[in-house]
Amino acid sequence: MKKLLCVLVWMAMVAVAQAQPRLIKLNELQRLITDEQRPLVVNFWATWCGPCLKEMPVLEQFAASHPDVRLVLVSMDMDLDPNPDKVSRFVARKNLQSEVIILDERNPQEWVGRVDKRWKGNLPATIVKGADGKKHFVDRMLKEGELEALLALASGH
């Protein structure tokens, strides 16, 4: 019984540790986008962004119904409120199941163009990349069904 309890506690600790967002720099994010071989959706959001929060259920539903697509939620909170714990608490409170990373960069106007030359810094913003590497960029809130359509375009369908 003690062994079972220890195993369950250990499993719970691993699950919590996996759910914690991690800090990354822009160059690591760029490598992630470039190197990912599977279809990929990268969504830029912030805890203070109303449209981002409205879009979140659409993204979570998409991820649940498309396990073959990697969805990465990139928090932009470090610019205005450099407190990673706030993002972690938000992720836990909202019970987000998607992969969440915190972009450890300040002053987005200096680097958003390196993510996509069309991006002016609006949130939410999303990159959809097909398995063949073709990308689409959207700098507005996505509605239900739009990610599927963008993924089809990025995949050449």
**pLDDT for the residue numbered 1:** 60
Is residue 143 within 8 Å of residue 58, measured between CB atoms? yes
What is the pLDDT, as a whole number, of residue 93?
92
C-alpha–C-alpha distance, residues 137 and 119, integer Å: 8
Query: What pLDDT sits at residue 81?
Result: 75
Tell me what the pLDDT averaged over the chain comes to.
87
User: What is residue 127's predicted lDDT score, i.e. its pLDDT?
Assistant: 96
Residue 8 pLDDT exceeds 70: no
pLDDT at 74 over 80: yes
Residues 6+ apart with CB under 8 A from 25: 103, 104, 105
pLDDT-based confidence at 60, cuts 50/70/90?
A: very high
Residue 21 pLDDT: 94
What is the average per-residue pLDDT within 20-30? 92
Question: What residue spans define the domains of the chain?
Answer: 21-154
**pLDDT for the residue numbered 3:** 61
pLDDT band of residue 92 (cuts 50, 70, 90) is very high
Confirm or reject CATH 3.20.20.140 for domain 21-154, answering yes or no: no
pLDDT of residue 2: 63
Task: Look up the pTM and report it.
Answer: 0.84
Distance between CA atoms of residues 7 and 1, nearest Å:
10
Instruction: Tell me the pLDDT tens digit for each residue of 107-140.
Output: 888 888 889 999 999 999 999 999 888 999 999 9
Query: Whole-angstrom Cα distance, residue 113 to residue 31?
Result: 16
**Percent of residues, the chain, with pLDDT higher than 70:** 87
Amino acid 141: pLDDT: 96
